[in-house]
Protein backbone atom coordinates (compact mmCIF):
# COMPACT_ATOMS: atom_id res chain seq x y z
CA UNK A 1 0.00 0.00 0.00
CA UNK A 2 1.29 3.46 -0.95
CA UNK A 3 1.55 5.62 2.18
CA UNK A 4 0.30 9.19 1.99
CA UNK A 5 1.56 12.11 4.08
CA UNK A 6 -1.04 14.15 5.98
CA UNK A 7 -0.65 17.19 8.21
CA UNK A 8 -2.77 17.45 11.37
CA UNK A 9 -2.58 21.06 12.51
CA UNK A 10 -3.87 22.49 15.77
CA UNK A 11 -4.20 26.10 16.81
CA UNK A 12 -4.05 28.14 19.98
CA UNK A 13 -4.68 26.73 23.42
CA UNK A 14 -4.99 23.14 22.22
CA UNK A 15 -1.72 22.50 24.04
CA UNK A 16 -3.86 22.97 27.16
CA UNK A 17 -6.05 19.94 26.48
CA UNK A 18 -6.60 17.98 29.66
CA UNK A 19 -6.53 21.06 31.90
CA UNK A 20 -8.45 23.73 29.98
CA UNK A 21 -12.22 23.48 30.43
CA UNK A 22 -12.32 19.69 30.81
CA UNK A 23 -16.12 19.87 30.94
CA UNK A 24 -15.98 20.90 27.26
CA UNK A 25 -12.75 19.37 25.97
CA UNK A 26 -12.27 16.34 28.24
CA UNK A 27 -9.27 15.26 30.27
CA UNK A 28 -7.12 13.65 27.57
CA UNK A 29 -4.05 15.62 26.54
CA UNK A 30 -2.61 16.90 23.27
CA UNK A 31 0.04 14.16 23.55
CA UNK A 32 -2.79 11.60 23.73
CA UNK A 33 -4.41 13.13 20.65
CA UNK A 34 -1.12 13.08 18.74
CA UNK A 35 -0.61 9.41 19.58
CA UNK A 36 -4.16 8.52 18.52
CA UNK A 37 -3.83 10.43 15.25
CA UNK A 38 -0.56 8.66 14.40
CA UNK A 39 -2.08 5.26 15.25
CA UNK A 40 -5.26 5.93 13.26
CA UNK A 41 -3.22 7.30 10.36
CA UNK A 42 -0.90 4.30 10.37
CA UNK A 43 -3.89 1.93 10.18
CA UNK A 44 -5.20 3.93 7.20
CA UNK A 45 -1.88 4.02 5.34
CA UNK A 46 -1.24 7.65 6.28
CA UNK A 47 1.92 9.16 7.73
CA UNK A 48 0.68 11.82 10.11
CA UNK A 49 2.68 14.93 10.90
CA UNK A 50 1.04 16.38 14.02
CA UNK A 51 1.66 20.02 14.95
CA UNK A 52 0.27 22.56 17.42
CA UNK A 53 1.08 26.24 17.67
CA UNK A 54 -0.12 29.28 19.56
CA UNK A 55 1.44 31.57 16.95
CA UNK A 56 -0.60 32.56 13.92
CA UNK A 57 2.39 33.12 11.64
CA UNK A 58 3.67 29.62 12.40
CA UNK A 59 0.28 28.20 11.41
CA UNK A 60 0.37 30.18 8.16
CA UNK A 61 3.85 28.76 7.49
CA UNK A 62 2.60 25.22 8.12
CA UNK A 63 -0.36 25.72 5.78
CA UNK A 64 1.99 27.16 3.15
CA UNK A 65 4.16 24.06 3.51
CA UNK A 66 1.09 21.86 3.03
CA UNK A 67 0.14 23.84 -0.08
CA UNK A 68 3.65 23.59 -1.53
CA UNK A 69 3.73 19.84 -0.89
CA UNK A 70 0.14 19.23 -2.02
CA UNK A 71 -0.50 17.62 1.36
CA UNK A 72 -3.97 16.97 2.77
CA UNK A 73 -4.67 18.77 6.04
CA UNK A 74 -6.77 18.15 9.13
CA UNK A 75 -7.11 21.59 10.71
CA UNK A 76 -8.41 22.61 14.09
CA UNK A 77 -7.72 26.32 13.86
CA UNK A 78 -9.33 26.83 17.29
CA UNK A 79 -10.08 30.52 17.93
CA UNK A 80 -8.49 31.52 14.61
CA UNK A 81 -11.39 29.72 12.92
CA UNK A 82 -13.64 32.63 13.69
CA UNK A 83 -11.60 35.65 12.63
CA UNK A 84 -8.20 34.97 11.06
CA UNK A 85 -8.16 36.07 7.46
CA UNK A 86 -4.48 35.11 7.34
CA UNK A 87 -5.45 31.51 8.14
CA UNK A 88 -8.34 31.70 5.64
CA UNK A 89 -6.00 32.96 2.90
CA UNK A 90 -3.54 30.17 3.67
CA UNK A 91 -6.36 27.60 3.48
CA UNK A 92 -7.53 29.06 0.16
CA UNK A 93 -4.25 28.10 -1.50
CA UNK A 94 -4.35 24.42 -0.47
CA UNK A 95 -4.52 22.06 -3.44
CA UNK A 96 -5.20 18.85 -1.51
CA UNK A 97 -8.29 18.31 0.65
CA UNK A 98 -8.72 20.18 3.94
CA UNK A 99 -10.89 18.82 6.74
CA UNK A 100 -11.92 21.33 9.39
CA UNK A 101 -12.23 19.73 12.84
CA UNK A 102 -13.52 21.02 16.17
CA UNK A 103 -13.59 19.04 19.42
CA UNK A 104 -16.80 20.78 20.49
CA UNK A 105 -19.54 22.02 18.20
CA UNK A 106 -18.96 25.76 17.83
CA UNK A 107 -22.47 26.32 16.47
CA UNK A 108 -23.99 25.06 19.72
CA UNK A 109 -21.72 27.07 22.00
CA UNK A 110 -23.28 30.13 23.70
CA UNK A 111 -20.71 32.62 22.39
CA UNK A 112 -22.11 34.01 19.15
CA UNK A 113 -18.63 34.76 17.78
CA UNK A 114 -17.98 30.99 17.65
CA UNK A 115 -20.81 30.49 15.12
CA UNK A 116 -18.83 31.78 12.12
CA UNK A 117 -15.89 30.03 10.44
CA UNK A 118 -13.56 31.64 7.93
CA UNK A 119 -12.08 28.17 7.27
CA UNK A 120 -15.25 26.34 6.20
CA UNK A 121 -15.36 27.78 2.64
CA UNK A 122 -12.08 25.97 1.90
CA UNK A 123 -12.87 22.67 3.63
CA UNK A 124 -14.00 19.52 1.84
CA UNK A 125 -15.59 18.42 5.11
CA UNK A 126 -16.32 19.87 8.56
CA UNK A 127 -16.44 17.61 11.61
CA UNK A 128 -17.53 19.23 14.87
CA UNK A 129 -18.59 18.06 18.28
CA UNK A 130 -17.12 14.56 18.05
CA UNK A 131 -14.18 15.09 20.41
CA UNK A 132 -11.02 13.19 19.52
CA UNK A 133 -13.07 10.88 17.32
CA UNK A 134 -13.53 13.79 14.92
CA UNK A 135 -9.85 13.53 14.05
CA UNK A 136 -10.24 9.82 13.28
CA UNK A 137 -13.18 10.61 11.01
CA UNK A 138 -11.16 13.35 9.31
CA UNK A 139 -8.26 10.98 8.67
CA UNK A 140 -10.68 8.39 7.27
CA UNK A 141 -12.09 11.06 4.96
CA UNK A 142 -8.60 11.95 3.73
CA UNK A 143 -7.60 8.31 3.30
CA UNK A 144 -10.55 7.92 0.96
CA UNK A 145 -9.98 11.19 -0.90
Write down the catalytic residue from 25, 83, 115, 135. 25
83 annotated active-site? no
Q: Is 85 exposed, middle or buried (0-12, 13-18, 19+ CB in 10 A)?
A: exposed
Write down the catalytic residue from 102, 115, 135, 141. 102
Contact 46, 6 (CB under 8 A): yes
122 annotated active-site? no
114 is in an annotated binding site: yes
CA–CA separation, 140 vs 138, rounded Å? 5
103 is in an annotated binding site: yes
55 is in an annotated binding site: no
CA–CA separation, 141 vs 83, rounded Å? 26
Contact 55, 78 (CB under 8 A): no
82 is in an annotated binding site: yes
10 is in an annotated binding site: no
Element (H, E) at 67: helix 56-68
> What is the secondary structure of 31-48 as a DSSP string?
HHHHHHHHHHHHHTTEEE
104 is in an annotated binding site: yes
Q: Which residues carry out catalysis?
A: 25, 102
Q: Which residues are annotated as a binding site for substrate?
A: 76, 82, 89, 103-104, 114
Amino acid sequence: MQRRDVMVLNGPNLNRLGVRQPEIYGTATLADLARFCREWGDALGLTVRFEQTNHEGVMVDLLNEAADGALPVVLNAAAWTHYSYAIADACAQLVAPLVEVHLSDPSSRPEVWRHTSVVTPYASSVIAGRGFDGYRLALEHLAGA
